[in-house]
Amino acid sequence: MAQLRQGYAEYTRRDAEVIVVGPENAAAFKVYWANEKLEYIGLPDPEKTVLKRYGQETNLFKLGRMPAQVVIDKAGIARYVHYGHDMSDIPSNQEMFTVLDELNSQP
């Protein structure tokens, strides 16, 4: 999440909003977000509703939820999806900026 914090201004400059979905409950999210002073949105998903909707994998041998990045446009259409194969398989901010720039350049 430090990567997202470092790039947050660039995401918002590209008219994007960052939403991090995690398995913790609302109280745990609130404490973590306050302690870390995170600017972006944290969405608790203890019932795995979002996980199931977007096909995010879980693997108990690899610490639970595998990383997934989804870019959803303003019409609610998923335009880019990356499913990580392990906890370190996360696109860089620059990769995500390239995706957003390409999407923003389309009419």
| Position 58 confidence tier, pLDDT thresholds 50, 70, 90 | low
| Position 51 confidence tier, pLDDT thresholds 50, 70, 90 | confident
pLDDT digits (tens, 9 = 90+) for 21-39: 888 899 998 999 999 999 9
Q: Tell me which residue has tokens 């999210």.
A: 29
For the chain, domain boundaries: 2-100
Percent of all residues in the chain with a pLDDT value above 70, rounded to a whole number: 91
Using alpha carbons only, give the angle 5, 18, 65 rounded to the nearest 5 degrees. Answer: 90
CB 93 within 8 A of CB 10: yes
Output the six-digit token pair for 46.
């203890």
End-to-end CA distance of the chain: 31
Question: Looking at domain 2-100, does it have CATH number 3.40.30.10?
Answer: yes
**pLDDT greater at residue 107 or residue 9:** 9
Strand partners, 80: 71
Cα(63)–Cα(51) distance, rounded to whole angstroms? 15
pLDDT digits (tens, 9 = 90+) for 73-98: 988 888 999 888 777 888 999 999 99
